[in-house]
């Protein structure tokens, strides 16, 4: 309460000084206008500081991981101050791609072959100028997994790479088949339930740098894929730790939420068209096994998955696919430290579907739940062009694991 009162006094004083210089006292013919604006501003500040700005909920399956995060990743225990004029879920989600800057990143592309004859596009940021890790063989490597139709060009991926470069790390982005401009060599794309391509990428990267600390971070669908992989492999993975952001924990709940009229209008229909565009370029590869005319008529992600994704990967029904794709089922089997950041107001991942009780039963899992932040939003500051709360969590966590991860085994 003392901190709240202090924040309120500072904010009120700054507002008063600003208005004194910016608003004419003759507004509405007297000083009444200034008083009204100042009064409203103070009332809004009170509401913001008491109801919007809150500390995240930290859920861990054991005291050791929780204590480790408090010591080495303190951002997860600090108050998150969403952008004061844009804290609502949909606003944060819609605004982030347009308002956040895109750091310049020079990639080195690599195409690797898969067991079925396909190819996967990897974009590397080698960070050969690293002064902290001059030896490339031991330079920490961060594998990044973008969202549903995302690639290495997404602003959130670029920010993660920029922050990793500051720490001296190397990054590699796993672009799902067919979305980064490369040709499909086989009639197969991707889904968050099938982890074969991710297993191929992890094995390949680890074989190149077996002595380097190896971590992964997945965003939205990329996080779902990563969690499904970790749930299948347990502790038998080259990864020493992982982080996920804005994961959809229960695919059924995600789909139901996104099919509500406003969410369908703002998000679902657009993402469906993105999925259709991603397969349209390779249409000739699928015509023998999939009715592409029906795929292109889909009006929702669920319809697209029913007509394309579930058929592509051999599921009997869409329900079978959605059951297998939901990472909440495998969270109890995760065998390495994983931090999962979600906003409770995320319309892509409803709060009731977040597996809090399951997380409490696994000492390797930590959920960080903010009251606001939307889907991959987490904007903060008056004009959030640069670092978001999500970026700060990412940076502190990967640094904590690389520099202090050994402490977890001794706690």
Tokens of 317: 């029904």
CA–CA distance, 162 with 386 (Å, rounded to integer): 11
Per-residue pLDDT of the chain (411 residues; tens, 9 = 90+): 444 445 545 555 554 554 455 444 444 445 666 777 777 677 777 878 888 999 999 999 889 999 999 999 999 999 999 998 888 999 999 989 888 889 999 999 999 999 999 999 999 999 999 999 999 999 999 999 999 999 999 999 999 999 999 999 999 999 999 999 899 999 999 999 999 999 999 999 999 999 999 999 999 999 999 999 999 999 999 999 999 999 999 999 999 999 999 999 999 999 999 999 999 999 999 999 999 999 999 999 999 999 999 999 999 999 999 999 999 999 999 999 999 999 999 999 999 999 999 999 999 999 999 999 999 999 998 888 788 999 999 999 999 999 999 998 766
Closest to 92 (Cα-Cα) out of 372, 336, 348: 372
What is the maximum alpha-carbon separation in the chain?
77
Query: CB 232: neighbour CB atoms within 10 A?
Result: 15
**What tokens does 79 get?**
């108050």
Got the DSSP string for 391-411?
A: HHHHHHHHHHHHHHGGGGGT-
Query: Within 13 A of 81's CA, how many CA atoms are on the CB side?
Result: 11
Total residue length of the chain: 411
Provide the annotated active-site residues.
220, 346, 375
What span, in angstroms and rounded, lies between the C-alpha atoms of 54 and 381?
14
Q: How far apart are CA 13 and CA 336, in angstroms?
A: 48
Dihedral (Cα; 119, 224, 339, 249), 10-degree rounding: 180
Distance CA 251, CA 247 (A): 10
Strands (DSSP E) found in 56-107: 57-60
């Amino acid at each position: 309460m003392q901190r709240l009162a202090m924040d309120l006094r500072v904010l009120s004083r700054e507002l008063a000084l600003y208005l004194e210089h910016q608003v004419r006292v003759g507004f509405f013919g007297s000083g009444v206008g200034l008083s009204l604006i100042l009064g409203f501003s103070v009332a809004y500040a009170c509401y913001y500081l008491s109801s919007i700005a809150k500390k995240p909920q930290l859920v861990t399956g054991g005291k050791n991981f929780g204590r480790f995060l408090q010591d080495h990743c303190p951002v997860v225990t600090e108050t998150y101050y969403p952008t004061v004029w844009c804290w609502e879920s949909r606003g944060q989600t819609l605004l982030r791609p347009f308002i956040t800057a895109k750091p310049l990143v020079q990639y080195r592309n690599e195409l690797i072959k898969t067991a079925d004859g396909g190819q996967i596009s990897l974009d590397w940021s080698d960070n050969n100028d690293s002064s902290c890790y001059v030896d490339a063989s031991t330079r920490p490597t961060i594998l990044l997994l973008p969202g549903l139709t995302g690639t290495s060009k997404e602003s959130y991926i670029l920010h993660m790479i920029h922050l990793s470069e500051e720490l001296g790390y190397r990054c590699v982005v796993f672009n799902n088949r067919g979305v980064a401009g490369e040709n499909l060599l086989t009639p197969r794309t991707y889904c968050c339930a099938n982890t074969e391509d991710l297993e191929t990428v992890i094995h390949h990267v680890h074989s190149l740098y077996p002595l380097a600390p190896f971590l992964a971070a997945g965003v939205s669908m990329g996080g779902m894929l990563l969690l499904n992989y970790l749930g299948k492999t347990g502790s038998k993975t080259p990864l020493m730790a992982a982080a996920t952001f804005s994961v959809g924990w229960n695919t059924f709940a995600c789909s139901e939420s996104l099919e509500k009229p406003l969410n369908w209008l703002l998000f679902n229909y657009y993402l469906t068209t993105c999925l259709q565009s991603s397969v349209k370029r390779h249409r000739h590869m699928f015509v023998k096994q999939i009715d592409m005319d029906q795929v292109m008529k889909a009006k929702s992600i669920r319809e697209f998955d029913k007509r394309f994704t579930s058929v592509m990967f051999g599921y009997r029904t869409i329900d079978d696919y959605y059951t297998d794709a939901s990472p909440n089922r495998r969270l109890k089997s995760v065998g390495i430290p994983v931090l999962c950041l979600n906003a409770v107001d995320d319309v892509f991942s409803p709060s009731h579907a977040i597996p809090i009780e399951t997380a409490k039963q696994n000492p390797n899992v930590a959920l960080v739940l903010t009251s606001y932040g939307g889907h991959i939003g987490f904007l903060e500051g008056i004009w959030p062009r640069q670092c978001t709360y999500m970026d700060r969590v990412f940076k502190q966590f990967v640094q904590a694991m690389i520099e202090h991860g050994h402490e977890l085994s001794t706690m």
